[in-house]
Amino acid sequence: MPTSQSATATAAVDTPTDTPIDNRLENLKELEAGLDHLQEDTAPVRRPVATRLLLPLGTLAALVSLWQLLAWFASPRVDLVPGPIEVLGTAAGLLVDGRLAEAVATSLQRGVLGFLLALGIGTPLGLLLAASPLLRRGVGPLVSGLQVLPSVAWVPAAIIWFGLTDATVYFVVVMGATPSIINGLLSGVDTVPPQYRRLGTVLGASRIQGLLRIVLPAALPGYLAGLKQGWAFSWRSLMAAEIIAVGGSIGFGLGSLLQQGRDLSSMAVVSCAILAILVVGIVIELLVFAPAERRLLRRRGLAPGAGR
């Protein structure tokens, strides 16, 4: 097209100060900008909200239907297999007399506080072990052993030491969660790519700079995984402690409600308690750990785990 050609010519005449060097540089800059645009990631594909919400809800509906079916098969023995409707009725009753809310609040408070205690103890211990290979060789196997040890095993000892008090519950929770947090931090530090440490050396990082600015941020995903597992252990240990240690000055938690249901031979109350324990676990995962993990991984360009 003659018009566009003359336009280019005019542009060239308009900038007579251009030296060849400037031209080459401009050229390079433009070429790079073109390549950059061509190679850059386009907007990430996001799964529609529909499938993210519909799939879990569909699963829930299917499970409840299956449960109802089971209840029909066992219909003369409602005391053994109460259906969803009976359990819902019992839950309403427990809500009205305040027992369910009290149990959830008490357990949640203990679980969170116990977890935070474990966090406060496990993190510095993990850092210490990460910093000292000698100490780690000595203590590491013990930590891994404690992680495998079911924390219920601590309940009798805790009762002997602390009696039927909240200290017993917290002791069991801390013993259950701390090893996971320590090991999560350690595995996070272990899996820091050696390249990052070399980078620290090359950049002239001091030991403390290397730790704070490179190793610990790099270890964050492993640490978070450890925290997640630590929370799971907290919650499980708490239930174990609450079921076994009832009475004294110990408050009324979900484990206590479970135990009460057993004493009353009420499968409906037991089902309510199990469901409440499950729901708290899911809610904490969905509200706390899943978003934290998603944010952390997305910032680093790592795909978050499937199903979220």
Partner 1 sequence: MSIVIENLSKDYGAAPVLSGISTVIATGEFVAVLGASGCGKSTLLNVIAGLEPPTVGSVAVPAGGAAFMFQDAALLPWLTARANIELALEMRGIPRAERRHRADGLLELVHLSDAGTKRPHELSGGMRQRASLARALGQDKEVLLMDEPFAALDAITRDLLHDELERLWRAHRRTVVFVTHNVREAVRLGQRILLLSSRPGRIAAQWKIDPSVRSDPAAAAKLTQDITARLREEIRHHAH
Six-digit token string for 138 = 């000595």
For the packed helices 133-148 and 99-131, what is the interaxial angle rounded to 10 degrees? 150
The rounded distance, in Å, linking the Cα atoms of 98 and 108 is: 15
Type of residue numbered 88: L
Evaluate the CA torsion angle 124, 130, 132, 138 in order and state its sign.
positive
The rounded distance, in Å, linking the Cα atoms of 35 and 25 is: 15
The rounded distance, in Å, linking the Cα atoms of 255 and 104 is: 10
CB 185 within 8 A of CB 122: yes
Q: Quick check: 207 binds partner 1 (CB under 8 A)?
A: no
Using the minimum distance from each CB to partner 1, give the nearer residue, 75 or 209.
Answer: 209
x/- string (CB under 8 A) for partner 1, residues 18-57? -------x--xx-xxx-xx--xxx----------------
Using the minimum distance from each CB to partner 1, give the nearer residue, 37 or 49.
Answer: 37
Length of the chain: 308
Using the minimum distance from each CB to partner 1, give the nearer residue, 52 or 300.
Answer: 300
The rounded distance, in Å, linking the Cα atoms of 187 and 203 is: 25
Q: Quick check: 75 binds partner 1 (CB under 8 A)?
A: no
Using the minimum distance from each CB to partner 1, give the nearer residue, 33 or 278.
Answer: 33
Q: How far is CA 52 from the centre of its chain?
A: 18
Site for partner 1 in 208-247 (CB under 8 A): 209, 213-214, 217-218, 220
Of 80-88, 241-249, 277-285, 293-301, which segment contacts partner 1 by CB under 8 A? Answer: 293-301
x/- string (CB under 8 A) for partner 1, residues 151-190? ----------------------------------------
Q: Quick check: 76 binds partner 1 (CB under 8 A)?
A: no
CB 110 within 8 A of CB 169: yes
Query: Closest distance between partner 1 and the C-beta of residue 36, in Å?
Result: 6
Query: Closest distance between partner 1 and the C-beta of residue 227, in Å?
Result: 17
Q: Which residues bind partner 1 (CB under 8 A)?
A: 25, 28-29, 31-33, 35-36, 39-41, 195-196, 198-199, 201-205, 209, 213-214, 217-218, 220, 299-302
